[in-house]
Amino acid sequence: MRVGADGRPMCWWSIGEPLHVIHHDLEWGRPVADDRGIFETICLEGFQSGLSWLTILRKRENFRHAFASFDIEALSRFDTHDVDRLLGDPGIVRHRGKIEATINNARRCVELADEVGSLAVHVWSFEPESGPRSGPLDWEALTQQGVIPEAKALSRDLKRRGWSFVGPTTIQSAMESIGIVDHHVEACAIREEVEAERARFVRPRSYS
């Protein structure tokens, strides 16, 4: 566990780097309902594949500038000239497959929103049902748990819809980040705050 400046225990992975501390304490696990924010998270988790999350956090503002603030409609109109431009941008991760996937996924996201109303409605429909656990949520329990069934299901669904770089591990990381699941360990002082936010949070629902 990390001990915060105020003496409170925090999740072990947030030790050391200030960007990790800020992300853990202020963002991670807190529910997100807007499509842009959810789409950005999925894209950045895809870019993180094979790299460290710290690398992505350090480049996040550069990513936002390069990818039109992850405006889904704007990104869906990016073309081959934009791909070439992005491949020459040293401020982001210059990986052709991940860049092309981001543009493709924006187009697929427009289609998904036309079908079900919004990206938020769709991804939140994969929220696991709450229920009693067999034991405390700690590092050992999370390690043994692996990828949850709901993350696997959402990954399969997005792939079926033509999305890419949305494997189960990537999707679970996104679900953790935007609060669909809360994987702050039980000893973490932030967990109570996050659970309170999740309790108040109005889940996006389709009205069709």
Q: To the nearest whole percent, how much of the chain has pLDDT over 90?
A: 77
DSSP 208: -
Domain ranges of the chain: 2-126+135-200
- How many angstroms separate the first and last alpha carbons of the chain? 45
Residues 102-107, mean pLDDT to the nearest whole number: 98
**Which pLDDT tens digit goes with each residue over 32-67?**
999 999 999 999 999 999 999 999 999 999 999 999
Phi, psi torsion values for 122, nearest 5 degrees: -70, -50
Q: Please determine, for residue 95, whether its predicted confidence score (pLDDT) is greater than 70.
A: yes
Residues 6+ apart with CB under 8 A from 186: 136, 137, 138
CATH of domain 2-126+135-200: 1.10.340.30
Residues 87-115, mean pLDDT to the nearest whole number: 98
Which tokens sit at 200?
């108040």
Alpha carbons 98 and 23: distance in angstroms, whole number: 23
pLDDT for residue 23: 94
Residues 91-114, mean pLDDT to the nearest whole number: 98
- Token look-up 């997100």 returns 32
pLDDT for residue 133: 46
Going by pLDDT thresholds of 50, 70 and 90, the confidence category of residue 5 is low
DSSP 17: -
Which tokens sit at 124?
């939140």
Residues 6+ apart with CB under 8 A from 19: 54, 57, 58
Residues 70-94, mean pLDDT to the nearest whole number: 98
